[in-house]
Structure 1
């Protein structure tokens, strides 16, 4: 496995470019290489970010090609098809799978041997496609999964309670998509569960769940795409890997019997470090939450079957 301080991003659209900018600001890597099927776009984004880097921490940023991924410790895949007119992420699975397979094959042919982080939509299915194509162990192929959704969940809860998001622990599990599971049983505020914290205070769980699930669509309807939230999630995962943080993050990983689910990528809380996913955790869920998680796995299984 590579231990270099180089990260490569394949797909320099709105998400890839924003992720590169975020990574530059964090100063995590000495080198950031951008790769895109449109080299002129990659070159323009690299130049723009490098100009901003002139007043930030020193980082070498350039537009490269697949030969440059051999020396990267992490490869981020954001390339894929785009959703249109509010269609679900799963609707573009077939088109995205063709793109992701091609990107991963070229990276592996170039000698890549690090950690793959996949953000292409639909994220869970495309992570599974990337793992199968790469031949890397599942622990080394991670999807952004529900990390962004969990951040949204925490923020919506915090907003309704008028407290800081950092005071809230909460997980969204399963698919990064319409079948995702708002695991209210995982909510903790100062060590208290949600009901204990609320007391007699009112709380609209259904409204929060709907808002979190529809957030991506709402943002896309307003500006045509999403970028900042998912780019921040990408950066956080890469940081945890690069620094061997051994932090718990809800990301997409291959399940091996957890909750009776096997052979499917979906999100559960995972211990993340230099080797990728070091452990998959199984919080105590309610019966309804477990049923919803199984239903989410079925959705993802159908999506995967449709692209093979």
Structure 2
């Protein structure tokens, strides 16, 4: 059986760490693409030379073009300008729209049957850009945000409760950023609703820290943004698709009426399998959750309207 082919576009911190995790798990052969001359080639060679130590046989190459990416099974877009301290995700919109547009055009030409995972920020709007440009069907295009946001939520809850992160099933909806909706009602610890284990004010503080999770790391790093947890989240999605796990994870998917949202990519729980997004799970929301999700979708809509003027 031949190995799957996974292309990672953007060989910065997120892209290179994603490529490293993919080959270490032997999920497929990886093509690492970047516009910087020789840089992806150098990183790919370095990762390849780790193989004898870490016992993996996956191949990885670096390139500055799309020739080598031909007929990829999965393409992951991490390219774009990273956030800097004081920069909102919205500040990134104009620059990254141009970058993601170019990448999506190239992927659509070289790998027309690929499943596309977008990581570039602002996430929901960039997934919308990639969808409009590539014209891929909605089951083959998604944004990585919910897995990361849920991981951050789980981390903070585990720290607070002093329990294993494996016991926590976190639930997050909505756009990636300040308007995301971590649901305390559907988040459980070993099956027990977290609302029964923590007072409301502590939960609210943890929800706020989750919303600000990316900005907290940006302010600590000073010269970049998070990449270890984002790359881990991407790899979980890739693994669910390539192993046809039918795994339910939150990610940015094109809603067409689900949750009363139409024509926008917003974080919702989906079933990930070999075809990509095989189902959007609609769960019952209370009035407060519905209102928060609507606010989040409205914020995404504003960005997408700006994108429409740029494309």
Judge conservation of contact 2:71–2:110 (CA < 8 Å) in 1: no
2:12 is aligned to: 13
2:286 is aligned to: 286
Aligned residue-pair number: 303
Scaled by the length of structure 1, the TM-score of the pair is 0.94
Between stretches 48-57 and 259-268, larger displacement belongs to: 48-57
Judge conservation of contact 1:258–1:282 (CA < 8 Å) in 2: yes
1:63 is aligned to: 62
- Distance in 2 (alpha carbons) for counterparts of 1:85 and 1:75: 29
**Is it true that 1:76 corresponds to 2:72 in the alignment?**
no
- Distance in 1 (alpha carbons) for counterparts of 2:305 and 2:52: 47
TM-superposed CA distance for 1:71, in Å, is 2.2
1:179 is aligned to: 179
**Is it true that 1:106 corresponds to 2:106 in the alignment?**
yes
For residue 211 of structure 1, the aligned residue among 200, 204, 209 is: 209
TM-superposed CA distance for 1:164, in Å, is 1.0
- Distance in 2 (alpha carbons) for counterparts of 1:195 and 1:210: 15
- Distance in 2 (alpha carbons) for counterparts of 1:166 and 1:138: 31
- Distance in 2 (alpha carbons) for counterparts of 1:107 and 1:148: 24
- Distance in 1 (alpha carbons) for counterparts of 2:21 and 2:130: 24
- Distance in 1 (alpha carbons) for counterparts of 2:207 and 2:178: 11
Judge conservation of contact 2:81–2:92 (CA < 8 Å) in 1: yes
Between stretches 138-147 and 201-210, larger displacement belongs to: 201-210
**Is it true that 1:27 corresponds to 2:26 in the alignment?**
yes
TM-superposed CA distance for 1:197, in Å, is 4.2
| Unaligned runs of at least 5 residues, structure 1 | none
CA displacement, residues 194-232 of structure 1 (integer Å, 9 cap, x when unaligned): 23345xx68601210121111211111222321101000
2:220 is aligned to: 222
Determine helix, strand or coil for the equivalent of 1:112: coil
Between stretches 183-192 and 201-210, larger displacement belongs to: 201-210
Judge conservation of contact 2:48–2:60 (CA < 8 Å) in 1: yes
TM-superposed CA distance for 1:279, in Å, is 0.5
- Distance in 2 (alpha carbons) for counterparts of 1:39 and 1:186: 47
